[in-house]
Structure 1
Amino acid sequence: MEKNKVKDLTQGNVFKLILGFSIPLLFGMLFQQFYSMVDTIIVGKYLGVTALAEVGSTGSISFMIIGFCMGVCNGFAIPVAQKFGARNYKLLRKYVFNSAILSAIFSIAMTIIVCLLCRKILGWMNTPDDIMEGAYSYIFVIFLGIPVTYLYNLLAGIIRSFGDSKTPLIFLIMSSIINIVLDLAFIIIFKMGVAGAAWATVISQAVSGICCLIFMKKRYSILKFEKDELKVNGHCMRRLCYMGIPMGLQYSITAIGSVILQTAVNGLGSLVVATVTAGNKISMFLSCPFDALGSTMATYAGQNVGAKKLDRVNEGIKKSIIIGSVYSIIAFVISILFGKTIALLFVDRNQTELLSMVSKQLIITAAFYIPLCFVNVVRFTIQGMGYSTFAICAGVCEMVARTVCGFVLVPIFGFTAVCLASPIAWICADAFLIPGYISVLKKMKKEIKFMTKEKVNDIKEVSAGIDL
Structure 2
Amino acid sequence: MKKVDLLEGSIVRSLTRLALPIMATSLIQMAYNMTDMILIGRVSSNAVAAVGAAGMYLWLANGLAMIPRLGGQVKAAHELGAQNTERAAAYGQAAFHMGALLAVLFTALCILLNGPLIAFFNLSSPSVIADARTYLIIVAAGFAFSFFNQIFTGLFTAMGGSVVVLRATAVGLVGNIILDPLMIFGVGPFPQMGVAGAALATVLAQAIVTVMFLLAARRETALFPHIHLLRASRRQVWKEILKIGLPVSIQSMFFSALSMIIARIISGWGDAAIAAQKVGSQIESISYTTAEGFATALNAFIAQNFGAGKKDRIHKGFRTAIGMMILWSCFTTVLLIAFPAPLVQIFIQGDEQVLQIGVSYLRIMGFSQILMCLEIASSGAFQGLGRPMPPSLVGVIGNAARIPLSILLSATVLGLDGVWWSISISSIAKGTVLFIWFIVILRRYIRADGTRLPTAPARFRPRRSEPRGE
TM-score by length of 2: 0.89
Of residues 164, 169, 175, the one that matches 1:167 is: 164
The count of aligned residue pairs is 449
Give secondary structure in 2 for the equivalent of 1:126: coil
Shift of the alpha carbon at 1:118?
2.7
Q: Does 1:307 align with 2:308?
A: yes
Q: What's the CA shift for 1:228?
A: 12
Q: Which of 106, 116, 120 matches 1:120?
A: 116
More moved, 224-233 vs 239-248: 224-233
Partners of 1:35 and 1:343 lie apart in 2 by 17
Q: Distance in 2 between matches of 1:151 and 1:264?
A: 34
What residue in structure 2 maps to residue 457 of structure 1?
none
Q: Distance in 2 between matches of 1:55 and 1:411?
A: 28
- Per-residue Cα deviation, 1:383-422 (whole angstroms, up to 9, x for no partner): 1111122332122123212222333323433221232233
Question: Would you say the 8 A contact 1:398–1:429 is kept in 2?
Answer: yes
- Tell me if the contact between 1:58 and 1:135 (Cα under 8 Å) persists in the aligned partners: yes
Q: Is the 8 A contact 2:67 2:244 kept in 1?
A: no
How many angstroms apart in 2 are the aligned matches of 1:197 and 1:207?
15
Relative distance call for 1:110 and 1:61 in structure 2 (3 A) is: closer
Secondary structure, counterpart of 2:122 in structure 1: coil
Q: Distance in 1 between matches of 2:211 and 2:28?
A: 18
1:422 to 1:51, Cα distance in 2 relative to 1, 3 A: same
CA contact (8 A) 2:267 2:274 kept: yes
1:37-436 map, 5 Å:
37-45=34-42, 47-70=43-66, 72-130=68-126, 131-189=128-186, 190-225=191-226, 230-348=231-349, 350-412=350-412, 413-436=414-437
The answer to whether the Cα contact below 8 Å between 1:398 and 1:428 also exists between their aligned partners in 2 is yes
Q: List per-residue Cα deviations over 1:85-122 (Å, max 9, x = no partner).
A: 11111111111112111111111122112332332122
**Is 315-324 or 85-94 further displaced after alignment?**
315-324
CA drift of 1:144 comes to 2.0
Taking the aligned partners of 2:62 and 2:442, their CA distance within structure 1 comes to: 31
Identity of aligned residues (%): 22
Q: Is the 8 A contact 1:401 1:428 kept in 2?
A: no
Give, in angstroms, the shift of residue 177 of structure 1: 1.1
CA-to-aligned-CA distance 1:272-294 (integer Å, 9 cap, x gap): 11111111111112333211221
Q: Which residue of 1 aligns with 2:463?
A: none
Residue identity matched to 2:174:
I
1:466 match: none
Higher helix share: 1
Q: Would you identify which runs of 4 or more consecutive aligned residues in structure 1 move more than 6 Å? A: 226-229
- Greater mean deviation of Cα atoms: 176-185 or 15-24: 15-24
Q: Residue 114 of structure 2 contacts residue 133 of structure 2 at CA under 8 Å; is this kept in 1? A: yes
CA RMSD, 1 decimal: 2.4
1:302 CA drift (Å): 0.9
Q: Aligned partners of 1:227, 1:15: CA distance in 2, in Å?
A: 36
2:361 alignment partner AA: Q
Between the aligned partners of 1:264 and 1:278, the Cα distance in structure 2 is 17
Q: Give per-residue Cα distances to partners, 1:303-332, cap 9 Å, x unaligned.
A: 111111222222222211211111222222
Farther-moved stretch of structure 1 (143-152 vs 228-237): 228-237
Match of 1:458 in 2: none
Closer/same/farther in 2, CA of residues 256 and 209 from structure 1, 3 Å limit: same
C-alpha change, 1:70 and 1:192, in structure 2 (3 Å) is farther
